[in-house]
Structure 1
Amino acid sequence: MLPAADITGMVLAGGRGSRMGGVDKGLQAFLGQPLALHALQRLQPQVGMCMLNANRHLEVYQGFHVPVHADVLPDYAGPLAGFLTGLTHCTTPWLLTVPCDSPRFPRDLAARMAATAVREHAQIVLAAGPEAGRDGALQLRPQPVFALLHRSLLPSLQDFVQQGGRKIDAWTAQHAQALCHFDAAGDDVHAFANANTLQELHLLEDSA
Structure 2
Amino acid sequence: MTASRTPAPAGPELAGLILAGGLSSRMGGGIKGLRLLAGKPMLAHVIARIAPQLGRLAVNANAPGCEGFGLPVLADTVAGHPGPLAGILAGLGWAEATGADWLLTAPGDAPFLPRDLVARLRAASDGERPVMARSASGLQPVVGLWPTRLGPGLADWLARGGSRRVQDWAFAAGAVICEVPDPGDGPEAFFNVNTAEDLAEAERWVAGSGGKA
TM-score tier after normalising by the smaller chain length: 0.7 to 0.9
Distance 1:98 1:162, change over 3 A: same
Contact 1:129/1:191 (<8 A) preserved: yes
Counterpart in the other structure of 2:120: 112
Residue pair 2:181, 2:189 contacting (<8 A) in 1 also: no
- C-alpha separation between the residues in 2 aligned to 1:187 and 1:6? 33
CA deviation map 1:87-122 (0-9, x unaligned):
11113011000101111010000111011113xx44
Read off the aligned partner of 1:167 and give its amino acid letter.
Answer: R
Whole-Å Cα distance in 2 between the matches of residues 77 and 173 of structure 1? 18
Instruction: Name the counterpart of 2:132.
Output: 126
Residue 167 (structure 2) aligns with = 169
The answer to whether the 8 Å contact 1:106/1:187 transfers is: no
User: What is the CA distance between 1:4 and its match in structure 2?
Assistant: 2.9
- What is the one-letter code of the residue matched to 1:80? L
Instruction: State the superposition RMSD in angstroms.
Output: 1.6
Q: 1:79 aligns with which of 66, 84, 88?
A: 84
Structure 2: segments with no counterpart, 5+ residues: 1-6, 207-213
Residue of structure 2 in register with 1:23 after alignment: 30
In the aligned structure 2, how far is the partner of 1:4 from the partner of 1:205? 33
Q: Which amino acid aligns with 1:66?
A: L
Aligned to 1:46: 53
How far is the alpha carbon of 1:142 from its aligned partner?
A: 1.0
Asked if the contact 2:16–2:54 (Cα under 8 Å) also holds between the matched residues in 1, the reply is yes
Bigger mean CA offset, 90-99 vs 35-44? 35-44
Instruction: Look up the match of 2:211.
Output: none
**Which residue of 2 is the match for residue 135 of structure 1?**
none
How big is each residue's C-alpha offset from its partner over 1:50-101, in whole Å with a ceiling of 9 and x where there is no partner?
00000111xx311111110111111221010111010111130110001011
Matched AA of 2:132: L
Which letter maps to 1:181?
A: E
SS of 2:111's equivalent? coil
Shift of 1:23: 3.1
Deviations 1:116-138 (A, max 9, x none): 113xx44210011122xxxxxxx
Pick closer, same or farther for the CA change 1:3–1:97 going to 2, 3 Å. Answer: same
CA distance, structure 1, for counterparts of residue 203 and residue 15 of structure 2: 27
What is the distance in 1 between the residues matched to 2:183 and 2:111? 19
More strand by share: 1
Deviation at 1:158, TM superposition (A): 0.8
Instruction: Return 5+ residue gaps in structure 1 as ranges.
Output: 132-140
Q: 1:187: Cα distance to partner?
A: 7.9
Task: Work out whether residues 124 and 149 of structure 1, in 8 Å CA contact, stay in contact via their aligned partners in 2.
Answer: yes
Percent of matched pairs sharing the same residue: 39
CA contact (8 A) 1:55 1:70 kept: yes
Are positions 1:62 and 2:67 aligned together? yes
Partner-residue secondary structure (3-state), 2:173: coil
For 1:190 and 1:128, the matched residues in 2 are separated by 11
TM-score by length of 2: 0.86
Residue aligned with 1:207, SS:
helix
Q: Matches of 2:37 and 2:191 in 1, distance apart?
A: 13
Task: Choose from 109, 112, 117 the match for 1:101.
Answer: 109
Deviation at 1:172, TM superposition (A): 1.1
Normalising by structure 1, we get a TM-score of: 0.88
